[in-house]
Amino acid sequence: MQAAPKPQPGIMEIALYQGGASRVAGVDDILKLSSNENPHGAPQSAQEAAREAAGAMHLYPNTDHAGLRAAIGEVHGLDPERIICGVGSDEIIHLLCQAYAGPGDEVLHPEYGFLMYAISARGAGATPVVAPERDRTVDVDALLRAATDRTRLVFLANPANPTGTMIGGQDVVRLADGLPDGCLLVLDGAYAEYVADFDGGLGLAQARENVFVTRTFSKMYGLGGMRVGWGYGAQSVIDVLNRLRGPFNLSNVALAAAEAAMRDRDFAAACLADNTAQRARLLAGLADLGLAADPSEANFVLARFADATEAADCDAFLKSRGIIVRHPVGYGLPDCLRMTVGTATGVDRLLEGLAAWRDR
Ligand SMILES: *Cc1c(COP(=O)(O)O)cnc(C)c1O
Name the DSSP class of 282.
Answer: H
CATH number for 224: 3.40.640.10
pTM of the model: 0.96
Helix (H, G, I), strand (E, B) or coil at 161: coil
- What is the amino acid identity at position 221? Y
Q: Does the Cβ of 114 fall within 6 Å of ligand 1?
A: yes
What is the pLDDT, as a whole number, of residue 185? 98
Shared domain for 324 and 175, answered yes or no, is no
Q: Which of the listed residues 216, 235, 263 is the one where a domain comes to its end?
A: 263
Q: Which residue, by CA, sits nearest to atom 14 of ligand 1?
A: 190
- Compute, in angstroms, the gap from residue 130 CA to the centroid of ligand 1: 19
| Mutational test site, ligand 1, from 85, 166, 188, 193, max ligand atoms within 8 Å of CB | 188
What's the pLDDT band for 329 if we cut at 50, 70, 90?
very high
Give the least confident one: 15-24, 94-103, 170-179, 252-261.
15-24
The pLDDT of residue 27 is above 90: no
pLDDT at 15 over 90: no
Average pLDDT over residues 102-122: 96
Specify whether 352 is located in the same domain as 227.
no
- The verdict on residue 89 lying in a domain is yes
Residue 10: per-residue pLDDT: 87
Over 90: is that where the pLDDT of 9 sits?
Answer: no
- Calculate ∠ Cα 34-283-193, nearest 5°: 65
Closest CA to 257 of 80, 60, 53, 89: 53
* 246 and 300 co-located in one domain: no
The answer to whether residues 111 and 130 touch, using CB atoms and an 8 Å cutoff, is: yes
Please check whether residues 63 and 132 belong to one and the same domain: yes
CB of 90 sitting under 6 A from ligand 1: yes
Domain check: are 271 and 241 in the same one?
no
321 and 195, same structural domain?
A: no
- Cβ of 231 below 6 Å from ligand 1: no
**From the CA of 289, how far away is ligand 1's center (Å)?**
30
Q: Determine, yes or no, domain membership for 1.
A: no
Residue where one domain finishes, among candidates 263, 281, 311: 263
Q: Is the CB of 193 under 6 A from ligand 1?
A: no
Q: pLDDT digits over 39-79, tens only?
A: 999 999 999 999 999 999 999 999 999 999 999 999 999 99
pLDDT at 82: 98
246 and 132, same structural domain? yes
CA separation, residue 83 to residues 68, 138, 146, 201 (Å): 10, 27, 30, 14
Give the residue among 213, 188, 219, 197 at the shortest CA–CA distance from 300. 219
Tell me, what's the pLDDT at 22?
81
pLDDT 10s digits, 221-255: 999 999 999 999 999 999 999 999 999 999 999 99
Ligand 1 neighbour 256 (Cβ under 6 A): no
Helices (H) and strands (E) in the chain, counts: 12, 12
Q: Tell whether the model's pLDDT for residue 134 goes beyond 90.
A: yes
Distance, C-alpha 206 to centroid of its chain: 21
C-alpha of residue 26 to centroid of ligand 1, in Å: 30
For residue 224, the number of C-alpha atoms closer than 13 Å in the C-beta half-sphere is 13
Residue 336 lies in a domain: yes
Q: What is the pLDDT of residue 26?
A: 84
Is the pLDDT confidence value at 23 over 90? no
Is the shortest distance between the CB of 299 and ligand 1 below 6 Å?
no
Instruction: Tell me the average pLDDT of the chain.
Output: 97
Q: Please tell me whether residues 199 and 109 are part of one structural domain.
A: yes
**Predicted pLDDT at 232:** 98
Query: Which residues constitute the domain of residue 19?
Result: 11-41+266-358
Domain identity same for 57 and 109: yes
Q: Which residue has the higher pLDDT, 318 or 27?
A: 318
Are 248 and 176 in a shared domain? Answer: yes
Residues 278 and 218 in one domain: no
In a domain, 2, yes or no: no
pLDDT at 25: 84
Distance 175 CA to ligand 1 centre (A): 22
Residue 240 shares a structural domain with residue 154: yes
203 found inside a domain: yes
CB of residue 216 inside a 6 A radius of ligand 1: yes
E strand segments, the chain: 31-32, 83-86, 106-110, 127-131, 151-157, 184-188, 211-216, 229-232, 292-293, 300-304, 323-324, 336-340
Tell whether 3 is covered by a domain. Answer: no
Which one of 263, 287, 308 terminates a domain?
263
Domain count, the chain: 2
Is residue 119 very low, low, confident or very high in pLDDT (cuts 50, 70, 90)? very high
- The atom number, within ligand 1, closest to the CA of 216 reads 8
Residue 6 lies in a domain: no
* Of residues 21 and 70, more confidently modeled: 70
What residue's CA is closest to ligand 1, atom 10?
190
pLDDT surpassing 90 at residue 217: yes
